């Protein structure tokens, strides 16, 4: 059984985002870009399922510019067997990503797709759910535990009230939460091996899929600076300041 893992190239989480001078978006020029952390968890889980014998092949898929090849190589260094890049320089919304990945999933005949629950750049948290709707598959979002056996997926997912356990027949879409696993450290030998693994590039324009954005960005601004906090001597001082200065009580 094949498993598809969706990965996205984003601004590295250690880098402070800077807004372009014209307010049109986030400045990515000369910035470090890396794999979305939730997608690292998704890739790690797919590799663990393969190591456990539940799946036979892990296919990493990304949509975006040629630079995404670097991110796909990282996925293969974690343990993905091969990668597919649906290449386009056009801005992609979650629906467009879901449509492009659907094309790959249908062509490859996968039975399981694993997405990160959200990307740290747009925080949309929609691609996995939209992909499931387009494919007509069952879905389990925010997964903290996944097991595959006898054509069935058992998933524990995190909800507001605690944990929810689901059991569903394949094919299935899973989106990963932080507590699902801790991605392995990528070693130099695995980085070298990843360079030799197959990476296919597909031109998105040749697929005839409508990926036109449905929304437009009006303006991007830095969040307003906040004043530094203060320490109070005791509860009485706190109450006094809340009454006289903050005027909230």
pLDDT digits (tens, 9 = 90+) for 223-232: 888 888 889 9
Note whether 188 and 55 are within 8 A (CB).
no
- pLDDT reported for residue 249: 85
Of residues 229, 221, 224, the one with CA closest to residue 246: 229
Tokens read off for 81? 């067997």
Reported as a single tens digit per residue, the pLDDT across 126-140 is: 999 999 999 999 999
Query: What integer is the mean pLDDT of 57-71?
Result: 96
Confidence band for 24, pLDDT divided at 50, 70 and 90: confident
Please say whether the beta carbons of 54 and 170 come within 8 A.
no
Beta-bridge partners for 78:
none
CATH topology of domain 2-246: Rossmann fold (3.40.50)
Cβ–Cβ < 8 Å for 146, 49:
yes
pLDDT digits (tens, 9 = 90+) for 72-89: 999 999 999 999 999 999
For residue 226, what pLDDT is reported?
83
**Region label for 231, one of left (φ > 0), alpha (ψ between -120 and 50) or beta (otherwise):** beta
- Positions of E strands within the chain: 2-6, 9-11, 33-35, 57-64, 82-87, 112-116, 138-149, 152-159, 162-169, 172-176, 199-203
Cα 159 from Cα 7, distance rounded (Å): 24
Average pLDDT for the chain: 93
pLDDT at 246: 83
């Amino acid at each position: 059984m094949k498993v598809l893992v969706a990965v996205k190239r984003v601004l590295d989480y250690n880098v402070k985002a800077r807004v372009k001078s014209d307010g049109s978006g986030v400045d990515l020029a000369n910035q470090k870009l890396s794999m979305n952390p939730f997608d690292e968890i998704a890739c790690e889980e797919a590799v663990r399922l393969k190591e456990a014998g539940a799946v036979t092949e892990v296919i990493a898929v990304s949509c975006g510019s040629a630079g995404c090849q670097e991110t796909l190589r990282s996925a293969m260094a974690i343990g993905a067997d091969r990668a597919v890049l649906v290449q386009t320089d056009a801005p992609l919304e979650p629906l467009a990503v879901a449509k492009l990945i659907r094309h790959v999933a249908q062509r490859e005949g996968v039975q399981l797709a694993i997405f990160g629950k959200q990307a740290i750049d747009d925080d949309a948290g929609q691609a996995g759910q939209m992909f499931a709707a387009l494919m007509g598959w069952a879905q389990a979002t925010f997964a903290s535990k996944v097991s595959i056996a006898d054509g069935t997926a058992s998933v524990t997912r995190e909800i507001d009230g605690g944990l929810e356990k689901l059991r569903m027949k394949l094919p299935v879409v899973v989106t990963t939460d932080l507590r699902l696993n801790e991605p392995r450290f990528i070693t130099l030998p695995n980085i070298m091996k990843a360079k030799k693994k197959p990476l296919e590039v597909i031109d998105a324009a040749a697929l005839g899929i409508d990926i036109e954005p449905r929304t437009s960005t009006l303006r991007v601004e830095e969040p307003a600076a906040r004043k530094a906090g203060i320490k109070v001597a005791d509860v009485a001082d706190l109450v006094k300041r809340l009454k006289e200065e903050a005027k909230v009580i």
